[in-house]
Amino acid sequence: MLQYERIAHSKITKKFRAEGQQLLFSRGKGGEVSDANGVPYIDFVMGYGPVIIGHSDDLFNEILGGYLTNGIMMPGFTTFHQEYLERLLGERPGDRGAFFKTASEAVTAAFRLAAMRTGRLGIVRSGYVGWHDSQIANSLKWHEPLHSPLREKLRYTDGMRGIGESEPVLNWVDLRLESLSELLERHRGRLGCFVFDAYLASFTTPDVLRQAVAMCREAGLLTVFDETKTGGRISALGYDHDNGIGSDLIVIGKALANGAPLSILVGGADLLAHAERARLSGTFSKEMIAVYAALATRDILEKPTQDAPDGWAEVGRIGTEVAAVLSAAAKEAGVADLLGARPVLGGGMFELVYHDEALLGDKERREALLGALTGAGILLLEGHPSFVSLAHRDLDWSDFHDRARRAFQDWNGADRG
């Protein structure tokens, strides 16, 4: 038996089970993954969003392999980083980008820039924006020898969080402008940053978000649109850019590099000029595999496909179709009064929707649904958007429909039983 017990799991890495056992995956190809026993599953988790072309895509692998002959880490940034930003930000000539591996890093960077710019540590937050706390505040120059005069001086003392008492983090819960205005008023003078998970844009309108950003700016906050789930997935740059929301900073991540770890903080040159003073980089910021993967991803997604002007539009079409099949299967299984599925922000993501109030509040029954879908060979997320890739174009759609119907019937039957 494989020793997966050695892995320290988080809640999200142990979601999927079969016959009481947690699944351990061994392979992915196209829109499918296989577990350690060789059992295949249609995969709508896609690594929680990063995989956008598909698992182990032949063309992607070929382009990536070609780049690898240049090496994977140089003393500093490379022509490949430069080329990638040129392509990513071509339509935003005034903008610059800072490279990170994870979006948590990029969001932490945005918080720090905001605090340095405004002198205020408080944050208004909407949505999940990452998991970091402060790691470098008030630190020494650790690599200096013990007796070095440079060693002891405390550094990185401004713009840090998690170290004082005057740094509120407030939730903008209901996305009403009145409540945002109340928060801004009540905590006036202590708030430096507004951060918004672009997925929540599906709960409101571009107009409300444009007003929210304008209100926050008026109150002196730096505004951050967190496009970790959406940037490079719903379109090349994401929701803020497409809808002219006008935030000061944009965080993009996940889908940029088809699964390789890359996240980028985008903003005006004047703002990103503080990156050096703010110490916004680490050893792997200049790593090249993810940038190669991002260039390969763009090579593929930028091209028109048979049915769509580019890969992002095609991914949207595919996700819309997936949601429609799930809804149709729910109807056929006689559970359409309980649930269905809908595309999110154009279809690069989709989500289950619960029409029944009791079910909506029933965590156990909702989790049982995930179990039934896994049992039928479909992996997706619940209580979170699911993700599609270009490779799902080649799904056996009628097999997918049958599996989904069976899962819904099993789930409903087990519940009644």
Which chain residues interact with ligand PLP by CB under 6 A?
Answer: 102-104, 107, 127-130, 197, 226, 228-229, 253, 263
Task: Judge contact between 264 and 106, C-beta under 8 A.
Answer: yes
Task: Judge contact between 131 and 104, C-beta under 8 A.
Answer: yes
- Tell me whether residue 217 is exposed, middle or buried, using C-beta atoms within 10 angstroms of its C-beta: 0 to 12, 13 to 18, 19 or more: middle
Task: Report the residue number, 102 or 412, with the smaller CB distance to ligand PLP.
Answer: 102
Task: Report the residue number, 226 or 314, with the smaller CB distance to ligand PLP.
Answer: 226
Beta bridge partners of 125: 171, 195
Task: Report the residue number, 226 or 351, with the smaller CB distance to ligand PLP.
Answer: 226
Task: Report the residue number, 134 or 305, with the smaller CB distance to ligand PLP.
Answer: 134
CA 406 to CA 415: how far, in whole Å?
Answer: 14
CB of residue 30 to ligand PLP, shortest distance in Å: 23
CA 408 to CA 405: how far, in whole Å?
Answer: 5
CA 38 to CA 358: how far, in whole Å?
Answer: 37
CB of residue 43 to ligand PLP, shortest distance in Å: 17
Strands 263-268 and 339-344: unpaired
Strands 32-35 and 40-43: antiparallel
378-405: burial string, b at 16+ Cβ within 10 Å, e else: bbbbbebbbbbbbbbbebeeeebbebbb
The string of DSSP codes covering 169-201 is EEE--S--HHHHHHHHHHTTTTEEEEEEEGGGG
Structure tokens at 181: 């205005």
Count Cβ atoms below 10 Å from residue 254 Cβ, excluding itself.
26
Q: Taking Cα atoms as reference points, which of 150, 143, 205 lies closest to residue 177?
A: 205
Task: Report the residue number, 344 or 376, with the smaller CB distance to ligand PLP.
Answer: 344
Separation of CA 90 from chain center: 22
Task: Report the residue number, 89 or 103, with the smaller CB distance to ligand PLP.
Answer: 103
Task: Report the residue number, 196 or 408, with the smaller CB distance to ligand PLP.
Answer: 196
Order the strands of the 25-29 sheet from edge to edge: 25-29, 32-35, 40-43, 378-379
CA atoms within 13 A of residue 261's CA, in its CB half-sphere: 11
Task: Report the residue number, 194 or 400, with the smaller CB distance to ligand PLP.
Answer: 194
CB of residue 268 to ligand PLP, shortest distance in Å: 21
CA 327 to CA 336: how far, in whole Å?
Answer: 7
Q: Taking Cα atoms as reference points, which of 50, 53, 30, 49 lies closest to residue 300?
A: 53
Task: Report the residue number, 9 or 303, with the smaller CB distance to ligand PLP.
Answer: 9
Task: Report the residue number, 199 or 411, with the smaller CB distance to ligand PLP.
Answer: 199
Strands 378-379 and 386-387: unpaired
